[in-house]
Amino acid sequence: MEKNVQSAFQFESQQLKTFAAEINRQRTRLHSVPKYRGEDLTEQALEDSRERNRKNLAIAAKEPYFGRMDFKETDQEEAAPLYIGKAGVSEGESGKAMIIDWRAPVASLFYSFTGGEEEVYYMAPEGMIEGDIFLKRNLVIREGNLQRVVDTYEQGQENAGAADEFLLYRLGDRKDNRLRDIVSTIQAEQNDMIRASRDTALIIQGVAGSGKTTVALHRLAFLIYEYREKMLADQMIIFAPNAMFLDYISNVLPELGVGDIQQTTFSKWALLKLGGRLKVQTADWQQWFEPGVNRAESGSKEPGRVKGSLAFLNAMDEALQLFIQNGLPQKDFEPWDGMVLKKKVIENWYAEEFRDYPAVKKRELISIKIKQWLSNELEKIWEKKVQKEMKTKAGQRLRAYMKSWPELDPLSVYRQLLSLESIRAQLSDEILQQTVNYLRKRVAAHEDLAPLIHIHLTLNGLERGERYHHIVIDEAQDFSPYQIAMLQKLSLKNSFTILGDLSQGIHSNIGIHAWEEIMPVFSEGKLAYRELERSYRSTMEIIEFANRVLSAAYKPAVLAKPVFRSGEEVTVTQEDDPIAFVKNWISERKAASASSLAIVCRTAKDGEEYFSELQKDGVDVHLVREGQEGYQGGISIIPIYLTKGLEFDAVLIVDAEAYNYQHAASDAKLLYVGCTRALHSLTVIFSKQASTLIPS
Ligand SMILES: Nc1ncnc2c1ncn2[C@@H]1O[C@H](COP(=O)(O)OP(=O)(O)OP(=O)(O)O)[C@@H](O)[C@H]1O
């Protein structure tokens, strides 16, 4: 065996040299071709192809491949070794595939095959291809050097555990500051999701650390490759919880050779769409996370839950349709005394001639139509002086007439709809009053954005090209059904990846409590629901601890199952001097070569306090604040509710007191989120009385 490993290593080292030389040769040749910048379409197409090659070769030069699979098609004599990398490369002369792109159909076998001697198959454009796998090999290449060769399957050999061993080796890596691609270790169930049909909205419920975000990003890369002519990166969009999180995940797509995908938060996107001078009220959010707040659970009457529901959407929809139908001024237009354009005629234009136009356009077209009618009538007046007088009068009366037509700006329409009985019936007096007060100041609560977008889309219709080719919604448990329904209107072919974890639903005042709440948004047969149960991020000890925290006050449908990666025990201690402890902890962790550390505080204010104490002592830390754009990595002081989606080598949760984390589902979820951020080490401290959520 030893000898086999040795010879496999030698063989692959030699192979690598050959591949690297060919890649270099092709790069040199392509770089010597001057870039074409002219107008000739054929030349432009050739240049585009060269540019694609240049990019692929640059990726391959860094790490040509990570896997090898020996596959024999049923009607072939011999198995052929297929090398699989992040980008496909063909041989310069023959054009034969030298390295297979991980997204190619045959590469799917590399991920889905988990052993067994039976025939396997994959779907190629030309149909089903059957065959046998003889070898599945993982290769680690860093900076051009082969570092590791692991055979995770060899026909006729005992292979148990080798795949997991390689996965553990990758998971055990210290992370730098950003999320990374996982092309070399995509798991079979993740592979299915990445390659799921493009026209289906895919909901992924996955436990903390199960790779949801990672899977969604790989799915985007897959779709762009698989449907290259039809699905364009710049027509795809990712919705994430905040700008810092977007920065944190920003390396993955470029690593996969994908650029140009729009990335935003729902508020930012909605404000841009609404265009006006509108502000979003965020203070309520901070308040929501104050300790001791009796946070709402299912069936709550929180404004976000009420205004985010599909019941509210339906009521709004009906009210909007009526508003548009009855939108016309209920009177004739009389440009001067004795001359009348009958209300019936205008109604006919509105309901028939301009039937297919959205309301804003109808208003515009009717104004033009009235002007045309006016100029015809004015031309019939021969006396120039009289004509001029009539023209002036008619102009004034037309302006007055148009003014009596309710303004079609989303904010003012929303305010008008809120005065209707059918809408008021949906809201409590308190919510109604609060909403009206905000809107008066041109301020919208977060949950008012979806109704405003609804009004905007209904009044203006959708422009050509405004629909997205694919929409990713990360942390979707914090979205309301209303928000998701609005995004659905904007999707071209129902192509969605919606991912989240109900156990991490820390915004239960606005988000969903069950996936069934959003399912009616999608038509039957256009929705798939999948679950991910294995957690890849944290050690077994951390996952087990976090599961106990969660289960203390919340009953999740599934608990995270760790991969078998054991590490140090989670420690919980009482500390009278937390600052001294934090300083000590930082030095110890740095000595243990952890590169990203988080000191997780209960509130933003607590974070400020720890930050100033540590800064006083010259400790090099940075504070993560709400609304912050960039993710710095290193040593972060961070309020617990902002840790969502992130991960750190070591996490220290401070002030885990009973009053900070009360015995309620909302607090259990919050603490669970904090605990599951840790990859290798988790420490929890309190000074007076520990939260009852913490296992004893
Ligand atoms: N197949 C895999 N191979 C190697 N690492 C993986 C794999 N799947 C996930 N990971 C790693 O697990 C960690 C968690 O991934 P990710 O952040 O995508 O999970 P998540 O489900 O979105 O997490 P959370 O909901 O807790 O924020 C990352 O470090 C990621 O690289």
Residue 1 has pLDDT above 50, yes or no: no
Consult the annotation and say whether 212 binds a ligand: yes
Which residue would you say has higher pLDDT here, 392 or 291?
392
211 is in an annotated binding site: yes
Tokens found for residue 488 = 């659905």
Ligand 1 atom 1, closest CA: 186
524 vs 210, which has greater pLDDT? 210
Mutate to test the pocket of ligand 1, among 203, 210, 498 (most ligand atoms within 8 A of CB): 210
Per-residue pLDDT, 300 = 62
Would you give the end-to-end CA distance of the chain in angstroms? Answer: 47
CB of 190 within 6 A of ligand 1: the answer is: yes
Residues in the chain: 696
More confident residue, 334 or 564: 334
Residue 209 counted as an annotated binding residue = yes
- pTM metric for this prediction: 0.91
Please tell me whether 206 is known to bind a ligand: yes
Strand ordering across the sheet containing 571-574:
571-574, 678-686, 648-653, 597-601, 635-639, 622-623
Confidence band of 82 (pLDDT split at 50, 70, 90): very high
The pLDDT score that the predictor gives to residue 298 is 45
Query: Does 185 sit in the ligand 1 pocket, CB within 6 Å?
Result: yes
The average pLDDT across 54-73 equals 92
Pocket test for ligand 1, best of 165, 168, 532, 537 (most atoms within 8 A of CB): 537
* Per-residue pLDDT at 296 exceeds 60: no
Distance 537 CA to ligand 1 centre (A): 6
DSSP-assigned states of every residue in 425-489: TTS-HHHHHHHHHHHHTTEEEGGGHHHHHHHHHHHH---TT-SBSEEEETTGGGS-HHHHHHHHH
When pLDDT is averaged across residues 395-406 and rounded to a whole number, the result is 88
**349 DSSP assignment:** I
Q: Positive or negative CA dihedral for 660, 661, 664, 665?
A: positive
Q: What average pLDDT does range 165-169 have in this prediction?
A: 82
- CA of 212 from ligand 1 middle (Å) equals 6
pLDDT digits (tens, 9 = 90+) for 241-261: 888 889 889 889 988 888 889
Contact 5, 149 (CB under 8 A): yes
The C-alpha atoms of residue 665 and residue 682 are separated, in whole angstroms, by 21
Token duo for residue 291: 């300790």
**In the structure encoding, which two tokens stand for residue 47, read together?**
């240049």
Atom 30 of ligand 1 has which residue's CA nearest to it? 211
Does ligand 1 lie within 6 Å of residue 506's CB atom? Answer: no
The CB of 182 under 6 Å from ligand 1? The reply is yes
Residue 327 is predicted with a pLDDT of 79
Ligand 1, pocket-test mutation among 214, 542, 679, most atoms within 8 A of CB: 214
Which stretch of 318-332, 449-463, 674-688 has the lowest confidence by average pLDDT?
A: 318-332
Check pocket membership of 217 for ligand 1, CB cut-off 6 A.
Answer: no
> Nearest residue CA, atom 26 of ligand 1?
208
For a ligand 1 pocket test, name from 112, 173, 182 the mutation site with the most ligand atoms within 8 angstroms of its C-beta. 182
Q: How confident is the model at residue 39 (pLDDT cuts 50, 70, 90)?
A: confident
Digit-coded pLDDT (tens) for 143-160: 889 999 989 888 877 766
ipTM: 0.99
Query: Is residue 208 a known part of a binding site?
Result: yes
Would you say the CB of residue 211 lies under 6 angstroms from ligand 1? Answer: yes
Find out whether 207 is annotated in a ligand binding site.
yes
213 in contact with ligand 1, CB cutoff 6 A: yes
pLDDT reported for residue 166: 82
Helix (H) and strand (E) counts for the chain?
Answer: 24, 25
Any atom of ligand 1 within 6 Å of the Cβ of 138: no
Kindly state if the Cβ of 645 falls inside 6 Å of ligand 1.
yes
Tell me which residue has tokens 């809408």: 423
Average pLDDT over residues 93-114: 90
Lowest mean pLDDT among 247-251, 327-331, 349-353, 653-657: 327-331
Question: Is 206 touching ligand 1 by the criterion CB < 6 Å?
Answer: yes
Band (pLDDT 50/70/90 cuts) for residue 386 is: confident
Read out DSSP for 49-106?
Answer: HHHHHHHHHHHHHH---SEEEEEEETT-SS-EEEEEESS-EE-TTT--EEEEETTSTT
**75-101 average pLDDT score:** 89
